[in-house]
Each structure stands twice: as structure tokens, then as C-alpha cells.
Structure 1
Amino acid sequence: VSGPIYSGGAIASASRAAMAQRDAKRAGLHVAGLEVEQEVRNAFVVLEVARAKGTATDRQIEAASVAFRGVREEASLGARTTLDVLNAEQELLDARVSRISTRIDEQIASYSLLAAMGKLTATELDLGVKTYDPAEYYNLVKSAPRAKSKQGAALDRVLQGLAGN
């Protein structure tokens, strides 16, 4: 008969350790899922905020446009100065610049949402570009010659010459 007569609880201890590791891996998987879900929710909220900011900026442009037309009309009647007209025009231009900025923020937020959902890939976006396929690459190079080619030998000579200088 060969083998240990008394293991001193090593088998039970190893079994408990394996179960603890299994439970830890499951907990890590659960936490990772919750983190992804939280990231998607945050990205969606940022997108909604950007959209609301865009709506507010549109209203700001409308208000500044109405104010500019009013100030310009008052200036034509002599009730406003040229400086007042220029200030109103500057407010309108600032509102338009702000709208451009909010459109950029909205685009960034939408791409961030796609990235959080895992949809910001070349295949998901249907970009029409060739994607990397490990199996295809392996099949392409598995029958390649193992010895150095003439071009490889020439490149090695060039690199060795550069390294010597």
C-alpha cells in the first residue's frame, strides 16, 4: 500500500480553498457586470444632459436673435446706441458658438455610450474595413517558410550595419 495514511486535513483544506476561489471568481464576474452596467447608465445620462443642453442652447439662440432684432430696430429709431447693437450681436454670436460646442459634446457622448455598450467596433459600425481575424492570419502564415528569405537576410544585414555605427 502506498500513499499517505494521514493527510492532516490537507484534502479538506484544498477543497475549501478551491470553493473559495470559485466563489471569488463568481463575485468578480458579478462586480464586472455591475461596473459595465453602471458605465452604460452614466454614458446614457451624459448623452441626455448633452441633448438637454442642446435644446437650451437652441432657445438661447432664439432669444438672442429676437433681442438683436429688437435692439437693431430701437437703434434705427434712435433709442439705442451702436454699442448696444454690437453687444446684442455679440450675444447672438456667442449663443451660436455655444450651440456648435454642444453639438460636439452630444456627438462625443453618443460615441461614449456606444463604447460603453461595446458597440464601437468596426464590425458593429459597418465601416467596410477589413478586421483582424486570428484564425485567418494563422492559416495565412502556417505554411510560410521557416528559413530566412532573401529580403529578410538583406534587412538583417542593413540592421546589423546600423547597429554597428
Structure 2
Amino acid sequence: NQRVYSGGNQASLLRQSIAGRDGARADLAQAGVLIAEAVGNAWAGLAIANAQVQAGDRQIRASQTAFDGVREEASLGARTTLDVLNAEQELLDARVTRIQAEAQRYLGVYRVLQTMGLLSVEHLKLGIPTYDPAGYYNAVKNAPVHSAQGKKLDRILEKLK
């Protein structure tokens, strides 16, 4: 039994399916663009963190040289103890800045892994057990529905009502 006239229903369904397919393709392309952008941003952040670490190294070397010079001048009587303490504080500040930059570099590496979808136990080879839904199901599928402890808890809850 076949209709002679469907009133354009078949053509409409075809156009609707084509539009749905094209929409799904556009969504997929947009997701690819967003992922590429996120990975690019993460890489740029990592490059910035690496540059900050290098700048921190140079700042430490410069502060160390300045501190050594001020300390030597102080031993000759040309500088005060306050000058030495100020130079030492600048050296300590440079070291703190370097440590903070190093922490940002580690975070940058993890951001890159996260945006690439590689921040997982398996990829990082952490050596820890992961949750296996099928394994857990198989372990408890034959377990009793009610335990002795569960029955005691049920009795307590009934009394509280």
C-alpha cells in the first residue's frame, strides 16, 4: 500500500535530515576549532612560564652579583648593614620569583595535557588502581541485598519516623 501523493512530506523529511547532518558537521568543526584554540593557549602559557623561569634565573644571577658587591663594599666600610640587608632581600625576592615561575611552568604543562585530553592516570602512568565499573559490578552482583548491619540500620530508621 503506497500513497500516490504525500504532500511534500518526503522531500521535507529529506531536507530536514540534510540540515541536521550539516548542523552536526558544523558543530563538530566548531568543537575542533575550540579545542585547537585551547591547546594553542595552553602552549602559549607554557612558553610564557618558561620565559619567566629564564628571566628569574637571570634576575638571581644579577641580584647575587649585586649582593656580593654590596657585601664586599660593606666589609671595606663603604656600605651600611642596611644596604647589605636590602641587597640580600632583593636576592631572596628574586629566588621567590623564580620558584613561583617554576610552579607556573608545572601548571602550564598540566594545562597542555588537560586540553589535549591526556591528563589521565593511564597516560601519566601513575601506577594507582583506577575505577573499573565492570569489575565492581562483577564483584557485587551476587552480594546479598540486605546485610545484618543494613537491617539494624533499617530498624533504627524506622524507630526515628
**TM-score under structure 1 length normalisation:** 0.87
- State how far apart, in whole Å, the 2-side matches of 1:158 and 1:42 are: 56
Q: How much identity, in percent, do the aligned residues show?
A: 54
1:157 lines up with 2:155 in the alignment? yes
- Where do 5+ consecutive residues of structure 1 fail to align? none
- State how far apart, in whole Å, the 1-side matches of 2:107 and 2:96 are: 17
RMSD: 1.8
- State how far apart, in whole Å, the 2-side matches of 1:90 and 1:142 are: 64
Q: Label 1:81 to 1:37 Cα distance change in 2 as closer, same or farther (>3 A).
A: same
Q: Label 1:6 to 1:148 Cα distance change in 2 as closer, same or farther (>3 A).
A: farther
- Where do 5+ consecutive residues of structure 2 fail to align? none
- Report the CA distance between 1:5 and its aligned residue: 4.0
Match of 1:115 in 2: 114
The one-letter amino acid paired with 2:149 is Q
**Residues 132-147 of structure 1: pairs in structure 2 closer than 5 A:** 132-145=131-144, 147=145
- State how far apart, in whole Å, the 2-side matches of 1:131 and 1:45 are: 32
- Report the CA distance between 1:99 and its aligned residue: 1.1
Match of 2:16 in 1: 17
- Report the CA distance between 1:6 and its aligned residue: 2.6
- State how far apart, in whole Å, the 1-side matches of 2:159 and 2:56 are: 63
- State how far apart, in whole Å, the 2-side matches of 1:121 and 1:52 are: 27
Q: Label 1:127 to 1:25 Cα distance change in 2 as closer, same or farther (>3 A).
A: same
**Residues 43-58 of structure 1: pairs in structure 2 closer than 5 A:** 43-58=42-57
**TM-score under structure 2 length normalisation:** 0.89
Match of 1:76 in 2: 75
The answer to which of 136-145 and 46-55 deviates more is 136-145
Q: Label 1:132 to 1:5 Cα distance change in 2 as closer, same or farther (>3 A).
A: same
Q: How many residues align?
A: 161
- Report the CA distance between 1:4 and its aligned residue: 4.3
